Structure 1
Amino acid sequence: MPERLRHPTIYEIYPRSFRDSTGTGEGDLRGVIEKLGHVRDLGADAVWLAPFFVSPLADAGYDIVDHCAVDPRFGTMEDVDALIARAHELDLKVIFDLVFNHTSCEHPDFLASIEGDEDAAARYVWRDAKPDGSPPNNWLSFFGEGAWSWNHKRRQYYFHQFLTCQPSLDLRHEAVRVGHRKTVEFWVARGVDGFRMDAITSYLFDESLKDNPPAAPEVRAKVTGEPFNPYTFQDHVYDMLPGDGAAFGETVRDWAGPDIWIMGENNSGNRAIEMSLDFTREGRLDAAYALRLASIADGPQGYADTIAALDGRWIAPWWFSNHDGARHVSTLGDESAASAKFFALLLSVLPGTILIYQGEELGLPQPDLVKDVVSDPHDLLYWPDGPGRSGARVPIPWFEDEPHRGFSTAEPWLPMDWGRGLSVAAQEGDPQSVLSFYRVVLRLRRELGLAHAVRVDPEAAGDALTLRIELGEARYVAIFNFGEAPIAAGEGEILAETGRVDDRLPRWGGILRRG
């Protein structure tokens, strides 16, 4: 990517919930093409598309049968080509997912391995039971259940770090690597500009299958997952070897070439910054976002500590929402437009790459869904206290008064019960809307070059966060109030603000000034 896109603003699209162009109730690639202008007008540099490959959709498309084919529900390969071409016309780069940790249990190789094909079996992680019939070790899946499932036909356990329908691949196996290389080269040849590598910290594991030790309290507090999820009870030192996975990132870089922008998803919560730095060493990935960066619930101090730990190495993208968890306007904010604008301004001044999830530019809250309409396995496992993935995937409201808010002419695959005023059309012409505010602050981010800050000095004082930003000769100060009591709004030319009353910032007040 060009130098100005070294730290891009990336807009994530979950195609199934973005726009339905065919009247099926599910979004598709043609629907994405129709609405790419919205992404361009917002101020994004690139679009990241969640998987649209052939899949049973047991886990939102992250259970893939064919990584180089389009699932018919989303469209055709011609639609992919048209999408890439249209994005490039709009000066948007295109990023696709690489899901290299596992396949669907319906993948031909996995089915063949069950039937006794040993070449196919070697691509996965099959192991014998212990003498007492129990699994090979104590490893747990990311969802908190056992990471080993018994197959009575093969009479062995297979390893899966996620759902039982997502058998893990053995990335040390040459045939697996050859297949992955073909996937990378296939999409690069079709014009893709970048990749997001799913779950990179889970790629490799200790081959001796040692038990994970219990997590010490300070480790458990940082392990990615809900506190009631047994996964957080273990220190995951043997079921994931991030250092080895980082080296594999270098291999993927070689396959893709130097001009392809590559970002990894780092789910090593208790070693997040350390691992992201390792994944982005010279010759590896361009960025590695940590799941924990979106979970900074301890307010200003959390942001200050993270910025200080990065110490000018802006390799860990910032984000508040994505397709895998409840929307941040509800979890971090109070569902008001004020809190939506507050987090928009905060995101826009943070250094490095930022990720925006479809609908957050509208201030969409997390919908309340009844169990009968939810199909996500993680949500159902811990219902009603799961991560809220289904709610985050409720389709986008494009219009106020059209059927199904302009998303589809048919009944949507998830119910849309959005309040008035949240649609794109309702906010389009309103200068006070959340959408208009996002456009303003993202334009400033690009014009001022805030993503490329030379230095950011954070200061946390109670409920106040102050960021002093250096960019060449330019100096900027951003102040944010996370608390109830008003704080001083500082001095200097105001470039962007939300919530200021005279010279004070109330709760959800933020301001960007020249320093």
Structure 2
Amino acid sequence: MERKWWHDKVAYQIYPKSFLDANGDGIGDLRGIISRLDYLKELGVDIVWISPIYKSPFVDQGYDIADYQQIDPIFGTMAEFDELLAEAHKRDMYIVMDLVINHCSDQHEWFQKALQDPEGEYGDYFYFRKGKDGQPPSNYRSYFGGSTWEKVEGTEYYYLHMFAKEQPDLNWENPRVLEELYSMINWWLDKGLDGFRIDAIINIKKDLEFRSFPADGPDGLAGCWRMVESVDGVGEMLEDLKRHTFAKYDAFTVGEVFNMKPEELKEFIGEDGHFSTMFDFSAHKLTYGEHGWYDSRPVQFEDFRAVTVRAQLESQEIGFLANIIENHDEPRGVCTYLPEELQNETGAKLLGTVSVLLRGIPFIFQGQEIGMQNCRMASIDEYDDISTKNEYQLALSAGCSVAEALEACYHRSRDNARTPVQWSSEKNAGFTFGTPWLKVNPNYQEINVAEQQGREDSVLNYYKQLLALRKSPEWAEVFTYGRFVPVLEDEENIFAYERRGEDKSALVVANFGLSEREVPLPSGAGENVLLSNLADVKLSGGRLELLPGQVAVLG
């Protein structure tokens, strides 16, 4: 494998609205991010991915972009962004931005012009289609619920939106659209940006006939992803995108890819793939309910282990995955993948170790490094997320009580990850001296950066040790390029794997169960304890004893 500059890096996602507010308006900003670059450097972060900061009406928290080349004033100015870029580069850190190019905002100049003349030049920037017998052109359900087709008042036209109605899909079959998008991407890369996280990109290829599918719900609609899965040719579009933009700059790219056909993995992240890497969502998919959040089930350990192992084995001959346990679209990992009794500091360290030492690029989401947890809201009014409100209504319409619908949101809402970062035990968790845009998790008194910085056995200090181990001169080669080899697969509640390098190996053994376990060490395993989340590691006669929630890294 040709070695790339990003192979041995650790990435950290910032959700800017909730990271740190420097001016007291209750919303995180660029100045807040700049002030914490040293914190991230000390943690062991190399690549910082910043969720959208472009001009936006924030119907979907900035993933509805009104101007791709302007910073939204709530975050600051372009001069401050340039300062952030310069300060990051000074620290040998890299800045990656979100690239949202499947759709834009209905407030974007292109769409406003298109509405004036759906049959004109800008109408062809989007997908305008005439209805059929007074009904939408097809029966697709959007990702956020309801039809993907929105009627243009006073006309017989509808426009396509696979997300919210305020997020019209861009027409990737129109060369003019591509010219505009490629020019914008190169403008950012010319500024010195180091790459992009690429949002919802698999959706750019459409079936231009927009054929309906058999209904898969009582609303008579079919998920729009059925159309996505039915078409071929997205690879050619992605190669064209890469050739005209990223490849010219050796930019780092990470794709948000759902609905990919398994045989296409090499095309996406192989030696000369469409992207540098793409997120492994296999564990997150275990949280899906058949109809919505209200009928999802707790994730079972055996399933979590199985899908993670499968993703590692399928990818290691091909390329690098981006490994996550949470992000801005998912609830907190500690509350999702661990039994209730391990939803604590011990469990946070366990889960972090298993994820960070996998083969691939570790992505840490803000607050993960202190073990932030889901936030219980008193009513649906305390939530902000558009998807959560839709899922709440879906639960009620399915016959759930208000309490049951709220419980589903507590376990699955995207706002669980979006509550402000807990910096201290001061008012509003030290996030703002104003009124926070979203409720601060009340547990900030116990879980916060300031308290953990001063405590040797904290989650934060453990993460520093974990990242330092991954990047240490002695072990970086093993943890970057070493093979992933699952072991002890028949042991109940044990997740264990080796990272095998050319001349040495490391062993990771984690007890996800609630009882003490003694397991045999694989032959040839080292018995030096490189790291453990609990002080006492019992090794004797080729056997390892693990307390509930304990993880040990041996070399």
Q: Distance in 2 between matches of 1:235 and 1:158?
A: 14
Tell me the alpha carbon deviations over residues 354-390 of structure 1, each in whole angstroms, 9 at most, x when there is no partner.
Answer: 2110000010001112322222110111123344112
Q: CA deviation at 1:237?
A: 4.3
Establish whether residue 463 from structure 1 lines up as the match of residue 493 from structure 2: yes
Q: CA deviation at 1:308?
A: 2.1
After superposition, the Cα gap between the structure-2 partners of 1:312 and 1:497, relative to the gap in structure 1 and judged at 3 Å, is farther
Establish whether residue 332 from structure 1 lines up as the match of residue 337 from structure 2: yes
Q: Distance in 2 between matches of 1:177 and 1:103?
A: 13
C-alpha contact (below 8 Å) 1:202/1:240 kept by paired residues: no
Tell me the alpha carbon deviations over residues 419-458 of structure 1, each in whole angstroms, 9 at most, x when there is no partner.
Answer: 4231111000211100011111111111222442331111
1:426 maps to which of 432, 442, 451 = 451
Q: CA deviation at 1:2?
A: 8.1
After superposition, the Cα gap between the structure-2 partners of 1:512 and 1:86, relative to the gap in structure 1 and judged at 3 Å, is same
Segment drifting more, 281-290 vs 361-370:
281-290
Residue 383 of structure 2 is matched in structure 1 by: 374
Q: CA deviation at 1:7?
A: 4.8
Residue 253 of structure 2 is matched in structure 1 by: 262
AA in 2 matched with 1:263: V
The 5-angstrom pairing of residues 483-498 of structure 1 reads 483-488=513-518, 490=521, 492-498=527-533
The 5-angstrom pairing of residues 265-344 of structure 1 reads 265-268=256-259, 271=260, 273-281=262-270, 282=272, 284-295=274-285, 297=299, 298-333=303-338, 334=340, 335-344=343-352
AA in 2 matched with 1:280: I
Q: CA deviation at 1:260?
A: 0.7
After superposition, the Cα gap between the structure-2 partners of 1:287 and 1:293, relative to the gap in structure 1 and judged at 3 Å, is farther
The 5-angstrom pairing of residues 385-404 of structure 1 reads 385-386=408-409, 387-401=412-426, 403-404=427-428
Q: Distance in 1 between matches of 2:448 and 2:197?
A: 28
Q: Distance in 1 between matches of 2:218 and 2:460?
A: 35
C-alpha contact (below 8 Å) 1:53/1:70 kept by paired residues: yes
Q: Distance in 2 between matches of 1:248 and 1:183?
A: 17
Q: Distance in 2 between matches of 1:196 and 1:231?
A: 34
SS of 1:458's equivalent? strand
C-alpha contact (below 8 Å) 1:266/1:272 kept by paired residues: no
The 5-angstrom pairing of residues 164-179 of structure 1 reads 164-179=165-180
AA in 2 matched with 1:260: A
Q: How many residues align?
A: 498
The 5-angstrom pairing of residues 105-184 of structure 1 reads 105-116=106-117, 118-130=120-132, 132-184=133-185
Tell me the alpha carbon deviations over residues 266-306 of structure 1, each in whole angstroms, 9 at most, x when there is no partner.
Answer: 122xx465444332241521112143344454132222222
Q: CA deviation at 1:506?
A: 2.8
Q: Distance in 1 between matches of 2:553 and 2:264?
A: 31
Give the TM-score taking structure 1 as reference length. Answer: 0.91
Residue 223 of structure 1 is matched in structure 2 by: none
Establish whether residue 351 from structure 1 lines up as the match of residue 392 from structure 2: no
Q: CA deviation at 1:159?
A: 0.8
After superposition, the Cα gap between the structure-2 partners of 1:229 and 1:32, relative to the gap in structure 1 and judged at 3 Å, is farther
Establish whether residue 250 from structure 1 lines up as the match of residue 239 from structure 2: yes
After superposition, the Cα gap between the structure-2 partners of 1:242 and 1:400, relative to the gap in structure 1 and judged at 3 Å, is farther
Q: Distance in 2 between matches of 1:292 and 1:144?
A: 23
SS of 2:125's equivalent? coil
AA in 2 matched with 1:453: Y
AA in 1 matched with 2:349: K
SS of 1:473's equivalent? coil
2:437 maps to which of 390, 408, 413 = 413
After superposition, the Cα gap between the structure-2 partners of 1:467 and 1:235, relative to the gap in structure 1 and judged at 3 Å, is farther
AA in 2 matched with 1:435: L
SS of 2:233's equivalent? helix
Q: CA deviation at 1:119?
A: 0.7
AA in 2 matched with 1:319: I
Q: CA deviation at 1:45?
A: 1.3
RMSD: 2.4
Tell me the alpha carbon deviations over residues 204-251 of structure 1, each in whole angstroms, 9 at most, x when there is no partner.
Answer: 111121224578xxxxxxxxxxxx998997583423567533332222
C-alpha contact (below 8 Å) 2:269/2:318 kept by paired residues: no
After superposition, the Cα gap between the structure-2 partners of 1:397 and 1:441, relative to the gap in structure 1 and judged at 3 Å, is same
C-alpha contact (below 8 Å) 1:362/1:435 kept by paired residues: yes
Residue 452 of structure 1 is matched in structure 2 by: 480
SS of 2:87's equivalent? helix
After superposition, the Cα gap between the structure-2 partners of 1:104 and 1:96, relative to the gap in structure 1 and judged at 3 Å, is same
Q: Distance in 2 between matches of 1:317 and 1:231?
A: 36
Segment drifting more, 288-297 vs 106-115:
288-297
Q: CA deviation at 1:178?
A: 1.0
AA in 2 matched with 1:308: L
Q: CA deviation at 1:5?
A: 2.1
Percent identity over the alignment is: 27
Q: Distance in 2 between matches of 1:446 and 1:230?
A: 51
Q: CA deviation at 1:110?
A: 1.1
SS of 1:299's equivalent? helix
AA in 2 matched with 1:452: T
Give the TM-score taking structure 2 as reference length. Answer: 0.85
SS of 1:418's equivalent? helix
Q: Distance in 1 between matches of 2:87 and 2:181?
A: 27
SS of 2:435's equivalent? coil
Q: CA deviation at 1:149?
A: 1.5
Residue 220 of structure 1 is matched in structure 2 by: none
SS of 2:312's equivalent? helix
SS of 1:61's equivalent? coil
After superposition, the Cα gap between the structure-2 partners of 1:166 and 1:353, relative to the gap in structure 1 and judged at 3 Å, is same
After superposition, the Cα gap between the structure-2 partners of 1:273 and 1:17, relative to the gap in structure 1 and judged at 3 Å, is farther
C-alpha contact (below 8 Å) 1:243/1:275 kept by paired residues: no
SS of 1:262's equivalent? strand
C-alpha contact (below 8 Å) 2:321/2:359 kept by paired residues: no
AA in 1 matched with 2:365: Y
Q: Distance in 1 between matches of 2:373 and 2:537?
A: 25
Q: CA deviation at 1:177?
A: 0.4
SS of 1:292's equivalent? coil
After superposition, the Cα gap between the structure-2 partners of 1:302 and 1:486, relative to the gap in structure 1 and judged at 3 Å, is farther
Q: Distance in 2 between matches of 1:250 and 1:242?
A: 17
